[in-house]
Amino acid sequence: MIDPVHPLPLLALAVGFLGLVAALAFHRMVQPASPGGARIQEFAAEIGHGAMTFLRGQYTWLAVLAAVIAGLITLLLPWEPWTPAAYLFGVVVTAVASHAGVRIATGANGRTAEAARVGGAQAGLRIAFRAAASVGFAVSGCGLLVVAIAFIVLSQLWGAEAWPHALVAVCLGASTTSLFARVGGGIFTKAADVGADLVGKVEEGLPEDDPRNPAVIADHVGDNVGAVAAVGTDLLESYIGSLVAPVALAAIVFASRSYLIPAMMLPLGVGIAGIVSALAATSLVRFRGDNFVAALRRGSLVATVIAAPATFGVVWWLMAGIDGVANPVGLWLAVVVGLTIGLAVGQITAWFTSDNYRAVKEVARQSQTGAATVIISGMAEGIRSAAYSVLAVATGVLLAFVAGDWALGSGGGIYGVTLAAIGLLSTLGMTVALSAYAPIADNAAGIVEMAGIHDEAHHATDILDAVGNATGAVARGFTIVSAAVTTLAVLAAFTRVVGLNSIDLTSPVTAVGLILGTIVPFLFTSLTLNAVGRAASRMIDEVRRQFREIPGLRAGAETAPPDYGACVQIATAGSLREMVLPGTLAVAAPLVIGFIDVEALAGFLAGSMICGFLLATFMVNAGGAWDSAKRLIEAGAFGGRGSQAHEAVVVGDGVGDSFKDTSGPALNVLVKLMTIVALVFSPAFVG
């Protein structure tokens, strides 16, 4: 049904492939760097090995859940081999991408440490940034490639009318992988962190990153699992969702219009523009002077600025001059709104989590009256940031609706909203890179410490590490907003696919659906907050056991090395076990409600999206504010380290860690997964 010689899907294929080539090229630039001395290599290898242990454990469970969902697709949906195949394709490719990202990151941490040791912060940064860019392009290239392949295969080879629906199953595959990476990874990273801190630092009095601490490797593995695998898959899922939702939507809304085919291809076009812009921006970013954070954020900004005219070209190429497209520039404006939402949310995140602004200073100041006031003011700031973020996004969505409506008339508004989602996500490669940078730098600092290198290297890796905290906070804010906007796009597609004319809250069943939807993020958060506690206490028991049972461990005897692997195993098993309940909730809830009433399901999804977005932003930004307040005091404010103020902010940071790295971001996956489950299984609800 789509012109087989139209060049756009093939171009998307090529550009997605180009992204992977760029990833490989950056990886190749990192590889020749010296891996360092034996001690550096040893710890880097331990971390890499631990990360693979976690991924293996995760993939075993992922295989089980994927088999269950593929079975449900087969049973509940009209029989069609392409749909489960597309689903499994989505699962496998995103799992491979996540695996590759972790491998790249864990291959670069030792090299970053060595480069910083020999050549200082600049040299270390170069290695870390290239590895991070490699992860960024691997994820974004993979995303475009997957959708392009599925698009071509399903539309050309299969070509039946239901092919956009099978395309959506690819996204459900990505969501399934993402559930494990985000929730399981989030629990792993905090359980390992708490285990390392509480027994090693507090009970045994070891310094941070001491090689005698049995949980120290698990802690470093957790950084990679959290900031590379979790963030990467989360954004990859959003990206794929934003690319496929408008196709499913257009197939229904524009079914009889002359611009059906271009409207289906436009998402891929925006994706092409985004990757090309990110490539251009990456080659333009230079690290001069000391302000690395500014250089990295400039990179994101440049990518956005280049993407704007590039997408204009794509929109004009595909949509101008077609009968019925009144104002093609409106479609471009919808994309630009998406790009702008990304910048706006980045700025809001900075206001609340960077120590350059009032919020973090205020939280730090409250440390003078104790931990309770630190918690209260951090919560007040986090809650406020959530209100601002949602306000910014709601404004953007409304503008995108107006732009789309202006461009295409009836049905165009909602299509405009889906275009904003792609616009927002088109430069995801930069964000993935910002996030992947953090664990590489953090690991490098830890390796220098563990390897016992006490010289300039220390100072250099500390600089790198501080940069990572700033970039990590921006990436967290971006994942939430992209999840929210993608969910909105998928939800819009869902309402059209099931043929809903309204989601009417005066109907009691719909109202109850909405209310149930708002409850689920609360329940899920309660589960993940407690899960961290339980997984952490298993870790604590294991670390205590090792100190008790391995004679000479505390003294640091060569003959008594800690069993790092056992800690990684326990964190892996614990985090995956804790996923069963929240994971089941996320998959089962939309299915149950969908079979009862489709309009109630739409209300349910709307409620969970809004409430999840608010809760996630609150938790992530409160966590970021506490983290930065702690750093501010550790840098000497209000008495510095060891003061009562420091004790107070350490409590805040302890609360914030679970908020920002586990429970908050887990909501991203929850709302996306529930909505995509609803969309994929929609034929079963209405059929």
Interaction site with its own copies (CB under 8 A): 198, 366, 369-373, 375-377, 379-381, 383-384, 386-387, 390-391, 394, 397-398, 401, 413, 495, 500-506, 508, 511-512, 514-516, 518-520, 522-523, 525-526, 529-530, 532-533, 540, 602-603, 606-607, 610-611, 614, 618, 650-655, 658
328 neighbors 319 (Cβ within 8 angstroms): yes
Residue 479 CB, shortest distance to its own copies, in Å, is: 20
Which is nearer to its own copies, 208 or 462 (by Cβ)?
208
Residue 502 CB, shortest distance to its own copies, in Å, is: 4
Q: 40 — alpha (psi -120 to 50), left (phi > 0) or beta?
A: alpha
Quote the crossing angle between the two packed helices 216-224 and 82-152, to the nearest 10°.
Answer: 60
Residue 641 CB, shortest distance to its own copies, in Å, is: 18
Residue 338 CB, shortest distance to its own copies, in Å, is: 16
Alpha helix (H) ranges present in 36-81? 38-76
Residue 670 CB, shortest distance to its own copies, in Å, is: 13
Kindly list the distances between the CA atom of residue 265 and the CA atoms of 37, 41, 148, 204, 245, in Å, as whole numbers in the listed order: 51, 47, 10, 60, 12
Q: 410 — alpha (psi -120 to 50), left (phi > 0) or beta?
A: beta
402 neighbors 379 (Cβ within 8 angstroms): no
Of 579, 606, 594, nearest in space to 680 by CA: 594
Residue 587 CB, shortest distance to its own copies, in Å, is: 18
Q: Which two tokens stand for residue 346?
A: 């980045």
Which is nearer to its own copies, 10 or 387 (by Cβ)?
387
Residue 619 CB, shortest distance to its own copies, in Å, is: 9
Which is nearer to its own copies, 303 or 375 (by Cβ)?
375
Residue 662 CB, shortest distance to its own copies, in Å, is: 10
Residue 582 CB, shortest distance to its own copies, in Å, is: 12
Of 240, 177, 165, 65, nearest in space to 681 by CA: 165
Quote the crossing angle between the two packed helices 508-549 and 185-195, to the nearest 10°.
Answer: 40
Residue 370 CB, shortest distance to its own copies, in Å, is: 7
668 neighbors 620 (Cβ within 8 angstroms): no
Q: If you search the block for the tokens 């909105």, which residue do you land on?
A: 488
CB-based contacts of 215: which residues, under 8 Å, 6+ apart? Answer: 192, 195, 196, 199, 200, 539, 542, 543, 567
CB-based contacts of 639: which residues, under 8 Å, 6+ apart? Answer: 633, 645, 646
Which is nearer to its own copies, 236 or 606 (by Cβ)?
606
CA-CA distance, 40 to 611, in Å (whole number)? 45
Residue 127 CB, shortest distance to its own copies, in Å, is: 34
Which is nearer to its own copies, 451 or 532 (by Cβ)?
532
CA-CA distance, 525 to 678, in Å (whole number)? 21
Which is nearer to its own copies, 24 or 512 (by Cβ)?
512
Residue 383 CB, shortest distance to its own copies, in Å, is: 4
CA-CA distance, 663 to 230, in Å (whole number)? 12
Residue 35 CB, shortest distance to its own copies, in Å, is: 37
580 neighbors 187 (Cβ within 8 angstroms): no
Which is nearer to its own copies, 347 or 530 (by Cβ)?
530
CA-CA distance, 259 to 254, in Å (whole number)? 7
Which is nearer to its own copies, 12 or 360 (by Cβ)?
360
Q: If you search the block for the tokens 């079975």, which residue do you land on?
A: 71
Residue 674 CB, shortest distance to its own copies, in Å, is: 15
How far does the chain reach from its first CA to its final CA, in angstroms?
A: 24
Q: How many residues does the chain have?
A: 687
Which is nearer to its own copies, 144 or 611 (by Cβ)?
611
Residue 344 CB, shortest distance to its own copies, in Å, is: 15
CA-CA distance, 386 to 507, in Å (whole number)? 29
Residue 393 CB, shortest distance to its own copies, in Å, is: 8
CA-CA distance, 640 to 638, in Å (whole number)? 6
Which is nearer to its own copies, 258 or 502 (by Cβ)?
502
Distance of CA 668 to the CA centre of its chain: 8
* Amino acid identity, position 77: L
Which is nearer to its own copies, 386 or 673 (by Cβ)?
386
Which is nearer to its own copies, 106 or 389 (by Cβ)?
389
User: What secondary structure letter does DSSP report for 638?
Assistant: G
CA-CA distance, 563 to 534, in Å (whole number)? 21
Residue 141 CB, shortest distance to its own copies, in Å, is: 34
CA-CA distance, 456 to 187, in Å (whole number)? 34
Q: Which two tokens stand for residue 14?
A: 């090529």
Burial 486-500 (b: 16+ CB within 10 A, else e): bbbbbbbbbbbbbeb
Q: Which two tokens stand for residue 263?
A: 């409207």
User: What secondary structure letter does DSSP report for 181?
Assistant: I
CB-based contacts of 652: which residues, under 8 Å, 6+ apart? Answer: 363, 367, 371, 374, 375, 378, 626, 629, 630
Of 420, 481, 479, 427, nearest in space to 267 by CA: 420
354 neighbors 628 (Cβ within 8 angstroms): yes
